[in-house]
Structure 1
């Protein structure tokens, strides 16, 4: 991240938003009459996210900056217009889209964006099949995003395809639209870290237009297990002790593996959905349909068929 937006776990703002503080402590103790409804909504959403400590800290700092920005306007102090375009780097399933949605909600709550809606797009939404189509498609997409956030996933794909590919035209059009509609929308580009670094070299003016660059690290085995438990709870299932041990060992192996683009939360979601399907097959075979049986995922419901070196655990 660029110097103007550097954040660390030791940041002073971390004291302001310290969730371990006493309940009687006000978020902004300088004036106990101040209410921060947007912050309360923000904290509720942040607390639901597993890990991502630095990203959470950044979002809290962003709220504080926007709040003070408004306060300076109220007393007619100088306020500089800032660019809020962002670049997210990380593997799939690390929360990039979730954070983009959260940011769009925050900017709407703070009246920075008039609508605060999120438009999700990919290469096919920008790049046309013939000359002249790409620029128009890109302009139309930006027009739909005015007043909100345009989130383009796998943005590096725009820089691939060779000299005759229309992806570069889409990039050039985006750069111009960012200038023409400077304060009317926020553009967030996302993708793999290395690929996004290469992508920024495609246009000389691209890198300078993204003052906020955030990295989304892969989840640890412990964090992946926490995500899995949340998904299981949300679906009204429960894990036996043996099933949880088996699941944790698998997730630890995955987190410690060498897959270049491990899918993190997506892998967990697919794994849980597969467990649920396998549980259904088992219950039909066993003719077991009482409430406890319908709720419970057992170790035998977690079968590994992706070539992983993972020992089979049978549950008594």
Structure 2
């Protein structure tokens, strides 16, 4: 954290302000006028956390009611509570989902960055492992173990299933892919996966429609019926969720179109998808 130097003229100005009885918020306003930052940051409660974020982190110091924003790795963090000596925020997910990546936590006020800390993302949870795998292989197909099903109509469900294996799901006689020998339809075929998961409530997955989009979370599965004819065509994994002005937007990582943050809005707006339907599988 850097300390701003105060020229002699500014020091004299502040002294006059103090002698004339200008204190508290008025003093802060005068300090800002001459370039002095009244926000003092002493400590941060955590310097690392999971790739998918969500942890509540506290920052302590003085004048923190003047904090206007906190950014983690360039992404806006949600401010949860704020007082003169403490501000808490929810850590956003890693943008790259790379284990060990260190980013900057920037504490900002109306003047800009008042303090900076390092924060490191770690692979700590099952969903972390799922997204770490997804971002490692969205454009680098893991063909040695799982093959490439684009020649048979698309690799999207094959990829989604791979991420669930990385998450910790065990293969079964009904759900597996040994690309060197054989595979089960439920592993590589979207409608078969949907039917198989519905038949196995022991996984705890919950099937939802577009009306439940505000319940969707990172690591969930998105299935599309592009024609709206009741036949599912495409699958992706949720890589990000944000709410702006009360509207939830979901972003996806997957194959066909190979991408990391494709929005549902853009997908549904694509030519020929005017009648498309969406199904979410919420994964516990």
TM range (shorter): under 0.3
TM score, norm. by length of structure 1: 0.19
Where relative contact order (Cα < 8 A, 6+ residues apart) is larger, the structure is: 1
Structure having the larger proportion of residues in helix:
1
Q: Which has the larger radius of gyration?
A: 2
Structure having the larger proportion of residues in strand:
2
TM score, norm. by length of structure 2: 0.21
